């Protein structure tokens, strides 16, 4: 099979060696005489998978046993509702920093449960920059919610101050892409289909003291404390999904976060430099310090040029480069499994296109 050069925003490219290992396990997991797809979720083998993955998350994040690691179903969006359900009572307010579609969607879920204050927003400029970090965050909010990387608009927080209220972060599209101080968060979560596995699962890391904050009675499946007590196997767990995430965690550890961070910076610089020096392509995010190293969004000078470049990408087996409809143009997602060679190839195709195209 000729693998495509895949710049999709998620589900996204996975490393070939992870796919090969997962494929082997689909035929037989270890020496069990069973496929990983048949493996009981209460087996010793799955418990080992859960335990190793929890330990690896804590190790990679530099976190102590004050934190609980959960693998929950329902992807990113279920976290949009579990967070306010568990922590925002109808007598409290939560603060949301609105830096893009996903932060906005997260706060739209929260309004069902309590008062929501938008602390800052960059919606007015179609999220082509980060909002200012709020200077006067009210004391005693139930929590402050941020999205560390804005997948659709291509902005990313590179400097995140602490907050006096519990800080909660959606890290779906940049978890494990850089070294980071995870200890400033009371809870962070990631839909895993970008840097960490296959869709449907969310990694949730929560500081144990948050379990005491119970905004209301919440049924066990949606209750962080109950999920933690049951070690993420309250119901029939997504065995294959968690296993794939474990393979990704092993891959990240073997490569090293520092190496990953350096490569991600190199990949993003290469592509942004090509866009900045182009006469045909323009960056969506002009403020360089606000740019995402994960999702590079850009537009073309006119619709004909856009169409022609899309067609050329298709001819070169480049896929997943169409921008989200709210920005248009192009988006190249440069997650951890996208190599420098992939980005060099894309830049070469862009330059060849420029040499033969009139704007
Ligand atoms: C930052 C961010 N948060 C949340 C989501 C939603 O995840 P899901 O589709 O798993 O609900 C996405 C999806 O792309 C995302 O990029």
pLDDT tens profile 232-277: 999 999 999 999 999 999 999 999 999 999 999 999 999 999 999 9
| Spatial contact of 237 and 41, defined as CB atoms under 8 Å apart | yes
Q: Does the C-beta of 320 come closer than 6 Å to ligand 1? A: no
pTM, full prediction = 0.98
Ligand 1 atom 16, closest CA: 151
Please identify, by atom number, the ligand 1 atom nearest to the C-alpha of residue 77.
Answer: 11
CA distance 75 to 67: 20
244 lines ligand 1 (CB under 6 A): no
Q: Whose CA is nearest to atom 4 of ligand 1?
A: 76
Whose C-alpha lies nearest to ligand 1, atom 2?
Answer: 172
In whole angstroms, give the CA distance from residue 199 to residue 26: 17
- pLDDT, residue 359, reads 73
The rounded percent of the chain whose pLDDT value lies above 70 is 100
pLDDT in tens, 42-54: 999 999 999 999 9
Asked whether 75 lines ligand 1 (CB < 6 A), one says yes
* Rounded mean pLDDT, 128-136: 95
User: Is the preceding peptide bond at 64 cis, omega within 30 degrees of 0?
Assistant: no
The single residue listed with the structure tokens 């934190």 is: 67
Instruction: For the chain, state the CA radius of gyration.
Output: 21
Instruction: Give yes or no for residue 78 CB within 6 A of ligand 1.
Output: no
pLDDT of residue 223: 97
The pLDDT tens digits for 282-293 are 999 999 999 999
CA of 265 to the centre of ligand 1 (A): 23
List all residues 6 or more positions away from 352 whose beta carbon is below 8 Å from its beta carbon: none
Residue 243 CA to ligand 1 center (angstroms) comes to: 20
Query: Is 251 a catalytic site residue?
Result: no
CA of 337 to the centre of ligand 1 (A): 18
Residue 306 has pLDDT above 80, yes or no: yes
Please name the residue whose Cα sits nearest to atom 6 of ligand 1. Answer: 76
- The pLDDT assigned to 167 comes to 98
pLDDT value for 95: 98
Per-residue model confidence (pLDDT) at position 63: 98
**How many C-beta atoms surround the C-beta of residue 91 within 10 A?**
9
Does the beta carbon of 147 lie inside 6 Å of ligand 1? yes
**Active site (annotated) includes residue 209:** no
Q: For helices 303-315 and 340-356, what crossing angle results, to 10°?
A: 130
- Is residue 212 part of the annotated active site? The answer reads no
Q: Which atom of ligand 1 is nearest to the CA of 147?
A: 1
Q: Is the pLDDT of residue 4 over 80?
A: yes
Residue from 108, 147, 153, 173 whose mutation best tests the ligand 1 pocket (most atoms within 8 A of CB): 173
Distance CA 225, CA 206 (A): 10
Confidence band, pLDDT 50/70/90 cuts, at residue 226: very high
Fold for 256-356, please state it.
3.90.1150
Residue position matching structure tokens 């960059």: 122
Residue from 58, 71, 98, 102 carrying the catalytic annotation: 102
Q: Where are the domains of the chain?
A: 16-255, 256-356
Q: What is the 3-state secondary structure (H, E, C) of the chain?
A: CCCCEECCCCCCCCCHHHHHHHHHHHHCCCCCCCCHHHCCCCCHHHHHHHHHHHHHHHHHHCCCCCEEEEEEECHHHHHHHHHHHHHCCCCCEEEEEECCHHHHHHHHHHCCCCEEEEEEECHHHCCCCCCCCCCCCCCCCCCEEEECEECCCCEECCCCCCCCCCEEEECCCCCCCCCCCHHHCCEEEEECCCCCCCCCEEEEEEEHHHHHCCCCCCCHHHCHHHHHHCCCCCCCCCHHHHHHHHHHHHHHHHHCHHHHHHHHHHHHHHHHHHHHCCCCEEECCCCHHHECCCEEEEEECCHHHHHHHHHHHHHCCEECCECCCCCCCEEEECCCCCCHHHHHHHHHHHHHHHHHCCC
Mean pLDDT of 99-103: 98
pLDDT of residue 358: 80
- What is the atom index within ligand 1 of the atom nearest the CA of 149? 1
Q: CA-CA-CA-CA torsion for 261, 247, 168, 178, nearest 10 degrees?
A: 0
Average per-residue pLDDT for the chain: 97
Q: Which of 98, 128, 157, 194 is catalytic?
A: 194
Q: Is 151 in the pocket of ligand 1 (CB under 6 A)?
A: yes
Query: Whats the size of the chain, residue-wise?
Result: 359
pLDDT band at 85 (very low <50, low <70, confident <90, very high): very high
The CATH code that applies to domain 16-255 is 3.40.640.10
Equal CATH topology for 16-255 and 256-356: no
The answer to whether residue 190 scores a pLDDT higher than 80 is: yes
Calpha distance 94→145 (Å, rounded): 8
Inform me whether the pLDDT recorded for 141 exceeds 90.
yes
Give the atom of ligand 1 at the shortest distance from the alpha carbon of 193. 10
What is the rounded (10 degree) CA torsion for 268, 161, 133, 125? 20
The ligand 1 atom at the shortest distance from the C-alpha of residue 200 is: 10
Q: Is 324 in the pocket of ligand 1 (CB under 6 A)?
A: no
Catalytic residue of the set 98, 128, 170, 342 = 170
Residue whose CA lies nearest to ligand 1 atom number 1: 172
The per-residue pLDDT for range 335-354, each reduced to its tens digit, is: 999 999 999 999 999 999 99
**pLDDT-based confidence at residue 1 (cuts at 50, 70, 90):** confident
């Amino acid at each position: 099979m000729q693998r495509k050069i895949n710049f999709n925003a998620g589900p996204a490219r996975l490393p070939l060696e992870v796919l090969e290992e997962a494929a082997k396990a689909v035929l037989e997991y270890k020496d069990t005489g069973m496929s990983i797809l048949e493996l009981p979720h209460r087996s010793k083998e799955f418990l080992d998978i859960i335990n190793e993955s929890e330990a690896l998350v804590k190790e990679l994040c530099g976190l102590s046993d004050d934190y609980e690691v959960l693998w929950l179903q329902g992807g990113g969006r279920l976290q949009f509702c579990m967070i306010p359900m568990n922590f925002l009572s109808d007598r409290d307010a939560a603060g949301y920093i609105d830096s893009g579609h996903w932060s906005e969607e997260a706060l739209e879920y929260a309004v069902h449960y309590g008062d929501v204050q938008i602390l800052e927003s960059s919606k007015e400029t179609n999220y082509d920059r980060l909002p200012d970090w709020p200077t006067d965050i009210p004391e005693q909010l139930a929590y402050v919610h941020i999205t560390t990387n804005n997948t659709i608009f291509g902005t990313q927080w590179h400097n995140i101050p602490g907050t006096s209220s519990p800080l909660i972060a959606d890290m779906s599209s940049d978890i494990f892409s850089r070294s980071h101080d995870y200890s400033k968060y009371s809870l962070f979560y990631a839909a895993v289909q970008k840097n960490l596995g296959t869709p449907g699962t969310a990694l949730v890391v929560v500081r144990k003291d948050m379990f005491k904050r119970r905004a209301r009675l919440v049924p066990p499946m949606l209750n962080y404390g109950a999920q933690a007590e049951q070690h993420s196997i309250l119901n029939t767990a997504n065995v294959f999904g968690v296993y794939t995430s474990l393979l990704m965690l092993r891959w990240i550890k073997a490569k090293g976060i520092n190496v990953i961070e350096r490569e991600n910076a190199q990949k993003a610089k290469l592509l942004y430099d090509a866009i900045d020096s182009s006469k045909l392509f323009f960056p969506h995010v002009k403020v360089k310090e606000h740019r995402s190293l994960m999702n590079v969004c850009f537009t073309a000078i006119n619709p004909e040029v856009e169409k022609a470049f899309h067609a050329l990408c298709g001819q070169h087996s480049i896929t997943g480069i169409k921008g989200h409809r709210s920005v248009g143009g192009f988006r190249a997602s440069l997650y951890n499994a996208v190599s420098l060679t992939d980005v060099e190839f894309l830049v070469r195709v862009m330059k060849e296109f420029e040499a033969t195209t009139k704007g």
